[in-house]
Structure 1
Amino acid sequence: MTTTKQNFLSLDDILGRDIADLEKLPNGEFNVAKLGGAIPWTAVTQDEYKVAKKGCFNLKQGKKGQKPEMDFDDDKLKVRLIVEAVHKDTRSDFTFANKQLLEKLGVTTAEQVVNALVSPGEIHNWAVEIQDASGFSDTAQEEAADDIKN
C-alpha cells in the first residue's frame, strides 16, 4: 500500500513571507466590447464582498396568508462587484462612479453606468472572473495555496 505525503503549510511558511505579499490581491483586465478596450480590476476582499452583497436582498411578498420571503438579486451583486473591483484598481483612473460619466449617460449610480456600458453576458463573465480571483472557486484557492508554498 502506497501512501501519499501531504504538503501542508506551516506557520513558518506564512511568517516568513512579507506582509505585502500576504495582502496582495490578484488583478486582471476585462475587455468590454462596447467600449473597445480593456478595463483593469482588482479582486475584492471579504469585507468588500460583504458590503456589495448587503444591498442585494429584497423582501418578496408571500402569497395571501404566507410570510414574506427574502429574495437575493444575483445580478445586482455581479454589477456591484464590478464597480468595486474597477474602482479600487490603481493602474487606471477609470471608475464607473465618475461624476462626468454619470452626467454624460444621464444616470445617478455607478451600477447604472455598468448596465449601460457592459452587455449582460459580459457582466456575468466579468463578475465570475472577479469572484474566481477573490477565492470563490476551487482553482483560485488551489493557486493561492501553491503560491504560498513556493
Structure 2
Amino acid sequence: MKNRILCLLFMLTTGGLFAQVDLTWEDLAKISYTEKYFAAYDSNFLYPEFSKEITNLEGKEVTIAGYFLDMDPNGQLLILSKNPLASCFFCGNGGPETAIEIQFDSKPDFQTDDIVLITGKLKLNKDDIEHFNYILTDCSGFKLK
C-alpha cells in the first residue's frame, strides 16, 4: 500500500513537468520595444525586450488560441493572431505582440479567420527582422469554431 501511495505521489508531482503551458495574449503583451537601426534595410525597426516570464518559457511547449491567418498562397507564412484578418496587426490594430509566426511540418487544413488552438515550442526572436518576435515551431492544432 505504501508503494502505491508513493507511486501516485510521484506521478502527480512529475506529470506537470511535461505539460505544455497555456499562454495568453496578455502574457505576450508584456514586452517593450526600442528602435534599432538595421543597415541592410537602411531603416529603424522595433527591437523587443521580452519580459522575464516570457523569457523563462523559451524552448518550452506552449498552447494559445487565436485567429489563423494564411498570408502566403504557398503556405510559407502562417500566423496566429489575436485579431481576425480585418483588424490584425498588419491593418494597424495592435503591435507585433498580437501576432505569432506558426510553423507546421505540413500546412494545416485551416481557413483564414478560423479560431484555432495551437501548441508548439516557443522561440523568441530579437533581431531577425525576416521573422516575427514570437515563433511557435513544431506546431499542432485544431479548430475551435
Normalised TM-score (structure 2): 0.27
Structure richer in helix, relative to its length: 1
Between 1 and 2, higher relative CO (CA 8 Å, sep ≥ 6) is seen in 1
Structure richer in strand, relative to its length: 2
Bigger CA radius of gyration: 1
